[in-house]
Chain A
Amino acid sequence: MRVEGKGHAIDRTEKLSFQFDGKTIGGFAGDTLASALLANDVRLVGRSFKYHRARGIVSMGSEEPNALVTLKRGAAVVPNARATMQPIYQNLVAHSQNAWPSRSFDLLAANDLISPFLGAGFYYKTFMWPQSFWEKVYEPVIRRAAGLGALVPTYDGARFEKADAHCDVLVIGAGPAGLMAALTLGQAGLDVILADEHDAVGGQLLLETQTLDGLAGPAWAEEMATHLASMPNVRVMLNTTVTGAYDQGDFGALQRHGLDQAEPVHTLPEETFWRISTRRAVLCAGAQERHIAFPDNDRPGVMMAGAVRGYLNKFGVAAGQRVAVFANNDSAHQTALDLAAAGQSVTVLDSRSDAAAQGDYELLAGAQVVGTSGRQGLRKITFTQDGNTRSLACDCLGVSGGWNPMVHLTCHMNGRPTWDEDIASFVPTPGSIPGMVTAGSCGGLMETSAVLADGVNVAAAVAKDLGAVAPTPPIPATDARPTGLEPLWHVPGHGRGWLDFQNDVTTKDVQQAAQENFRSVEHMKRYTTQGMAPDQGKMSNVLALAVLADATGRGIPETGTTTFRPPYVPVSIAALGAGAHGKGFAPERFTTSHAATVARKAPLIEAGFWYRPSYFPQPGERTWRDSCDREVAMVRSAVGVCDVSTLGKIDIQGPDAGAFLDLVYTGRFSTLKVGKVKYGLMLREDGFVLDDGTTACLGENHFLMTTTTAAAGQVMRHLEFVHQCLRPDFNVSFASVTEQWAQFAVAGPKSRAVLDAVLDAPVTNKAFPVMGCGDFSVGGQNARLFRISFSGEHAYELAVPARFGAAVFDALLAAAEQQGGGPYGMEALNVLRIEKGFITHAEIDGRVTAGDLGMGKMVAVSKDCIGKTASARPGLNDPDRAQLVGLKPVGAVKKILAGAHLFNAGDDVHRTTDQGHVTSACFSPTLDSTLALGFLKNGRARIGETVVMVEHLNDLHVQVEVCDPVFFDPDGGRLRD
């Protein structure tokens, strides 16, 4: 019901209509979904989670436990939107949740009838036995009935963002304390962010009739907003909930955008998750009114007393025709005063026997509500006073059990709040979050003038601490309002007193937990699930532990609180993961041959951030195998060109470069001659292989190391570690030159002919033998040539400055095609190296030693190196260790798959009989056979044996012969000729 002359937030000239559960309802611009529903006397808005009890709106903020709805917004379906935080817009469509088939006739409400069996701990007790029933019966049934709201399983196209912000001081909450704090800090010249989760500043002032300096609260707040907006060093972030306090002054915050828009606005994301880095923070989160657990206090129409007057003052909505107030404190009397001033008759039931009326309304002092009735909404309350039980007709009951300071953020780093007898609630413990202080009612102050002054004083101290001093603003004058309170937590009687509305936890559940010896507050929470719903018990926590304290005979401070954890409000995964959808912001590294590769329609595969060609399809080729087989044969018979620029290249210089390489490689490099290349194996300090590659000596004290593509960054970090942390005395320095040089492998019997066509001077076999390197020129530009081979063929790698890479790749391909060759991709490269038994990170997976690879002799005896001592440990030299072997199918089935395990013929297939595993496998067109590399226990001594490869996914049992890992050209003649 609307009340004339009230409702500063709505514009009565702009009428809007929207749908709730299919019914068209009217409201005004400025309404929230909750205020518009209340204005239309829609009191039943949803069903509770467990018992499917009828529930109505109780609050005005993000703490709302009941009025969660599903919104249809454009193509998006948004579950669990809080009706109290959602502005209405024309044609908004909202649905209630947890009700089937409808919210007024709900079949699962039968749960409520069997509630004696669904009390605290029912999951643990009921569904334990028989065990086999859990998977087949209990879990599916529970899953069907569980879950708040429902997600649409397809991506709806909604956009989300993540962003970083930095400031001197973050002020959290723009109520009276936050506004004064932001003003004080802003005037001191500090960079300030003022964040508030509502769509306007003012906090509680927007809900009250209190005046400041003669202005109505909302008008004063608006003036402050204008004033702060004029300060360039103050940023006000509305619709922004600070969700967590983290180390070193970092805060998480969730900003919601375009909430009043019918369709997502294309220039705005739905939500932004902010990471705010601060030097200091001032928490001005205010206080929240708490409930009293009297019987059937969850009936629609029972609301918080502050919300009843808030809806009246802000939206011009009377939450009922006939309102009663039940409270244990003075502040709730303001609800009666505001309603009476608007012409409504109100009765206040105050549990305090000495309570006095503050104005013209009926007061029942020493009265307690002991029951409510009304089928789908409140019709009547029953109460006791002076030993008599009477009833009172009303359709709205405003309840106030006092106010809880919003201490949540102060506890995010394991801080515990302190009990304050005066306000019968917890207040923040100073110093709980380094760099954060609290001001206003979140620190326990309940009087507006004190709150305003605290905002100024706390902020002034923060400013001074940061070395910024300026005159503080004057404190606005307000009328004093009484704040007396006498604790009242629960009222016994017939019917259940509800604590946690979202998880359906009652006083009886908490008492039962205590009775069954779940007396610790953390145990009670888990046993009853109190505070474990999406609202994290914002409204119920203090009340529940007061009931527990009573049941266990301890005081509330001794009972303590459960742990408050971020996020303060639910944060959608989409906001946390923003930027990671699809390619997102993942970097892409392209080689200089990328354009030519794409032009040849080569499918790309990712190698770290690099993109490399899988194969280069030719007309008539139907599968990747067709192309791969052709490319392998091409390299073996003519020549192939492959971009190998992605391998890490590290330029190493300095007088101690040789000694340094001796320390990081197993082999000796200090004696390597200029113009020579050597293969090197790098160990971790624990004796396992880190990486392998070649290093060339380009000049005196000048080396070029290559690493595998995958380990390039890791090796660079390792070299820096060895230098800076172990041998800072070495005069040596490194630079990654991976991106500076484009490098191409030219492999095959015709490779020299290709190079001669491209290089300015010809290469001779004699002057440039295997493992030689030197400077050449291509088109007058400097180039480096290395006679190294990863295919076993006569091969070179030609490196040119990256800016010439594309041109040189084209020239090499043109020359190769003249020789009956062409480009080859990763698939062929892999086959070529398996045929030769060359290893990659498929083999050196971090569990492999030099000895396992058959490279034990590469660990030089005469010098130390990283990993040498540990690699001598007996366990790493056990002959029973798995050793690198080649594998070839010998039975009817010819398939070998990487990842499959090896067993002795006749053994049970079991982990205890496991003999090893396959690391790489391919079809070799050269040898017309499937080939594989793998590790087999004591494998080198078992060459010629037949073992069984078992692969469960494809149900394969394949007879394989153990071979030498070098399948092709074991003498290496092709390399040298």
Chain B
Amino acid sequence: MKIPCPLCGQRDSREFSYLGHASLMDRPAPDAGDAAWDDYLHNRENPAGVTEDLWSHDYGCAAWVVVTRNTVTHGILSARLAKEGTS
């Protein structure tokens, strides 16, 4: 499987490590309350279809990359740099 790193181009997925859903970028404020923190820490959508998740290009440029992919077809649709923000 290959991931198109925005900096390095199409690279083998073995160069990356996976973290989780891209919602991990939306860190609540410290006083956002238990429900918001519970959601952030523990609750994830598990969609059959398109999803976004975070991959780190460890054996490459060290960029965190938001990968849009389809959980049903395993298709990788696009990738962008995490530091450019949530979509």
Q: Enumerate chain A interface residues (CB-CB to B < 8 A).
A: 246-248, 250, 277, 413, 434, 685-686, 713, 716-717, 720-721, 723-726, 728, 864, 868-870
- Complex A-B: 16 CB contacts under 8 Å: A248-B75, A685-B41, A686-B41, A713-B58, A717-B17, A717-B56, A717-B58, A720-B56, A720-B64, A721-B19, A721-B54, A721-B56, A724-B63, A728-B85, A868-B30, A870-B37
Alpha-carbon separation in the docked complex, A415 to B87 (Å): 33
Asked if B41 and A870 sit within 8 Å, CB to CB, the answer is yes
Asked if A721 and B64 sit within 8 Å, CB to CB, the answer is yes
Question: Which secondary structure dominates where chain A touches chain B?
Answer: helix
Question: Taking CB as reference atom, which chain A residue is nearest B25?
Answer: A725
Kindly identify which residue among B17, B58, B73, B83 contacts A725, using a CB–CB cutoff of 8 Å. Answer: B83
Residues of A within 8 A of B63 (CB): 720, 724
Residue of A246, A721, A724, A868 ringed by the most chain B CB atoms within 10 A: A724
Residues of B within 8 A of A728 (CB): 82-85
Alpha-carbon separation in the docked complex, A190 to B64 (Å): 34
Asked if A725 meets B82 with Cβ closer than 8 Å, knowing A434-B73, A686-B41, the reply is yes
| Residues 48-87 of B contacting A (Cβ, < 8 Å) | 54, 56, 58, 62-64, 73-76, 81-85
Kindly identify which residue among B1, B56, B62 contacts A250, using a CB–CB cutoff of 8 Å. Answer: B1
**In the complex, what's the smallest C-beta–C-beta distance from A689 to chain B, in angstroms?**
16
Residue of B2, B40, B83 ringed by the most chain A CB atoms within 10 A: B83
Alpha-carbon separation in the docked complex, A870 to B41 (Å): 9
Residues of B within 8 A of A685 (CB): 27, 40-41
Asked if A864 and B76 sit within 8 Å, CB to CB, the answer is no
Alpha-carbon separation in the docked complex, A724 to B25 (Å): 9
Asked if B56 and A247 sit within 8 Å, CB to CB, the answer is no
Asked if A869 and B30 sit within 8 Å, CB to CB, the answer is yes
Residue B24 at the A interface, CB < 8 A? yes
Q: Enumerate chain B interface residues (CB-CB to A < 8 A).
A: 1-2, 17, 19, 24-25, 27-28, 30, 37, 40-41, 54, 56, 58, 62-64, 73-76, 81-85
Residues of A within 8 A of B75 (CB): 247-248, 434
Residues of B within 8 A of A248 (CB): 1-2, 74-76
Alpha-carbon separation in the docked complex, A725 to B19 (Å): 12
Asked if A864 meets B37 with Cβ closer than 8 Å, knowing A720-B64, A725-B54, the reply is no
Alpha-carbon separation in the docked complex, A141 to B2 (Å): 48
Residues of B within 8 A of A868 (CB): 30
**In the complex, what's the smallest C-beta–C-beta distance from B85 to chain A, in angstroms?**
7
Question: Taking CB as reference atom, which chain A residue is nearest B86?
Answer: A725
Residues of B within 8 A of A864 (CB): 30
Residues of B within 8 A of A246 (CB): 1
Question: Taking CB as reference atom, which chain A residue is nearest B12?
Answer: A277
Asked if A724 meets B1 with Cβ closer than 8 Å, knowing A713-B58, A717-B58, the reply is no
5 cross-chain pairs, A with B, having the tightest CB-CB distances, nearest first: A728-B83, A724-B83, A724-B64, A247-B74, A725-B25
Alpha-carbon separation in the docked complex, A211 to B25 (Å): 66
Question: Taking CB as reference atom, which chain A residue is nearest B24?
Answer: A725
Residues of A within 8 A of B41 (CB): 685-686, 870
Alpha-carbon separation in the docked complex, A870 to B73 (Å): 36
**In the complex, what's the smallest C-beta–C-beta distance from A267 to chain B, in angstroms?**
28
**In the complex, what's the smallest C-beta–C-beta distance from A433 to chain B, in angstroms?**
11
Residue of B1, B81, B85 ringed by the most chain A CB atoms within 10 A: B1
Residues of A within 8 A of B24 (CB): 725
Alpha-carbon separation in the docked complex, A248 to B69 (Å): 12
Alpha-carbon separation in the docked complex, A250 to B81 (Å): 25
Asked if A247 meets B27 with Cβ closer than 8 Å, knowing A724-B63, A725-B83, A870-B37, the reply is no
Residues of B within 8 A of A725 (CB): 24-25, 54, 64, 82-83
Alpha-carbon separation in the docked complex, A713 to B17 (Å): 11
Residues of B within 8 A of A247 (CB): 1, 74-75
Residues of B within 8 A of A869 (CB): 28, 30, 37
Alpha-carbon separation in the docked complex, A685 to B25 (Å): 12
Asked if B56 and A726 sit within 8 Å, CB to CB, the answer is no
Residues of B within 8 A of A726 (CB): 25, 27
Alpha-carbon separation in the docked complex, A899 to B42 (Å): 29
Alpha-carbon separation in the docked complex, A724 to B40 (Å): 18
Residues of B within 8 A of A723 (CB): 83
Residues of B within 8 A of A717 (CB): 17, 56, 58
**In the complex, what's the smallest C-beta–C-beta distance from A577 to chain B, in angstroms?**
16
**In the complex, what's the smallest C-beta–C-beta distance from B60 to chain A, in angstroms?**
12
Alpha-carbon separation in the docked complex, A716 to B63 (Å): 12
Alpha-carbon separation in the docked complex, A644 to B25 (Å): 35
Alpha-carbon separation in the docked complex, A717 to B63 (Å): 9
**In the complex, what's the smallest C-beta–C-beta distance from A456 to chain B, in angstroms?**
30
Question: Taking CB as reference atom, which chain A residue is nearest B65?
Answer: A724
Residues of A within 8 A of B73 (CB): 434
Question: Taking CB as reference atom, which chain B residue is nearest A726?
Answer: B27
**17 new A-B pairs (CB below 8 Å) besides A717-B56, A868-B30?**
A248-B75, A248-B76, A685-B27, A686-B41, A717-B58, A720-B62, A720-B63, A721-B54, A721-B64, A724-B63, A724-B82, A725-B24, A864-B30, A869-B28, A869-B30, A870-B37, A870-B41
Residue of A713, A717, A723 ringed by the most chain B CB atoms within 10 A: A717
Residues of A within 8 A of B25 (CB): 725-726
Alpha-carbon separation in the docked complex, A92 to B38 (Å): 67
Alpha-carbon separation in the docked complex, A869 to B63 (Å): 27
Asked if A724 meets B19 with Cβ closer than 8 Å, knowing A248-B2, A685-B41, the reply is no
Asked if B81 and A724 sit within 8 Å, CB to CB, the answer is yes
Alpha-carbon separation in the docked complex, A701 to B76 (Å): 40
Alpha-carbon separation in the docked complex, A686 to B85 (Å): 22
Question: Taking CB as reference atom, which chain B residue is nearest A722?
Answer: B27
Residues of A within 8 A of B27 (CB): 685, 726
Residues of A within 8 A of B2 (CB): 248, 277
Residue of A277, A717, A725 ringed by the most chain B CB atoms within 10 A: A725
Alpha-carbon separation in the docked complex, A192 to B19 (Å): 36
Residues of A within 8 A of B64 (CB): 720-721, 724-725
Residues of B within 8 A of A713 (CB): 58
**In the complex, what's the smallest C-beta–C-beta distance from B26 to chain A, in angstroms?**
9
Alpha-carbon separation in the docked complex, A246 to B73 (Å): 11
**In the complex, what's the smallest C-beta–C-beta distance from A251 to chain B, in angstroms?**
13
Question: Taking CB as reference atom, which chain A residue is nearest B56?
Answer: A717
Alpha-carbon separation in the docked complex, A864 to B58 (Å): 27
Question: Taking CB as reference atom, which chain A residue is nearest B28?
Answer: A869
Residues of A within 8 A of B17 (CB): 717
Residues of A within 8 A of B84 (CB): 728
Residues of A within 8 A of B62 (CB): 716, 720
Alpha-carbon separation in the docked complex, A716 to B58 (Å): 9
Alpha-carbon separation in the docked complex, A726 to B41 (Å): 14
Residues of A within 8 A of B74 (CB): 247-248, 413
Question: Taking CB as reference atom, which chain B residue is nearest A413?
Answer: B74
Question: Taking CB as reference atom, which chain B residue is nearest A735?
Answer: B62
**In the complex, what's the smallest C-beta–C-beta distance from B16 to chain A, in angstroms?**
11
